[in-house]
Structure formats: C-alpha cells, structure tokens
C-alpha cells in the first residue's frame, strides 16, 4: 500500500517538475507614459426627477458656488428629553462628568 502511495507521489512530482523552473515572459518597458496624451471623456447624464427643480430653488442659486458665510446656515437642533427616571438604574452618587 505504501509502495503505491510513494509511486503516485513520485509520478505527480515528475509531472509538476517542469512548472518549477518555468519562467513567465515579462515585457520590460523603459518608455514613459505621457499623461497629457491621455484623453479624458466626461460623461454627463441628465437625471429626470419627475418635477421641475427650478421652482423650488432661489432665482440666483448656484450649486457650485461656495457658501459665503458658514454661520449663515440655519441648523435645526431638536432637544430630546428622557421620559424615564434614570436615577433608579444608576448607582448612588453617580456623576457622568467625573
């Protein structure tokens, strides 16, 4: 039994032996790529939202213009109050800021 296993292992090794010394052909290129020769094609697809967006935006709206003053942006802050009494779930003299 061991004799057949040794012979089959030797047979497989002999079959794979040419792959060990095989070298892949690699092309070495010394030429440099000219970045300016690469042509960039910008694809602009129009998106149909199903309604006219102009009626919802100001007349002088420019989406590419930077905001002139970041403080002019109005944020809505919603303060949520807890309706459960947390004191019965925390240890005595608990202080979250210590």
Q: What is the pTM of this model?
A: 0.23
Q: Per residue of the chain (98 residues), give pLDDT as tens.
A: 677 888 888 888 888 877 777 666 666 666 787 888 888 888 888 888 888 888 888 888 888 887 677 777 777 888 887 788 888 888 888 888 88
C-alpha–C-alpha distance, residues 13 and 7, integer Å: 10
**Residue 29's pLDDT is what?**
66
**Residue 30's pLDDT is what?**
67
C-alpha–C-alpha distance, residues 58 and 87, integer Å: 50
**Cβ(67)–Cβ(73) below 8 Å:** yes
The residue to which tokens 């290129």 are assigned? 29
C-alpha–C-alpha distance, residues 13 and 19, integer Å: 10
């Amino acid at each position: 039994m061991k004799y057949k296993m040794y012979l089959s292992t030797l047979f497989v090794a002999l079959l794979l032996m040419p792959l060990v010394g095989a070298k892949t052909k690699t092309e070495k290129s010394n030429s440099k790529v000219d970045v300016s020769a690469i042509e960039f094609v910008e694809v602009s697809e129009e998106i149909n939202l199903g309604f006219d967006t102009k009626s919802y935006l100001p007349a002088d709206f420019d989406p590419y213009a930077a905001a002139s003053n970041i403080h002019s942006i109005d944020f809505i802050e919603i303060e949520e109050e807890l309706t459960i009494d947390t004191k019965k779930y925390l240890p005595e003299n608990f202080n979250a800021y210590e």
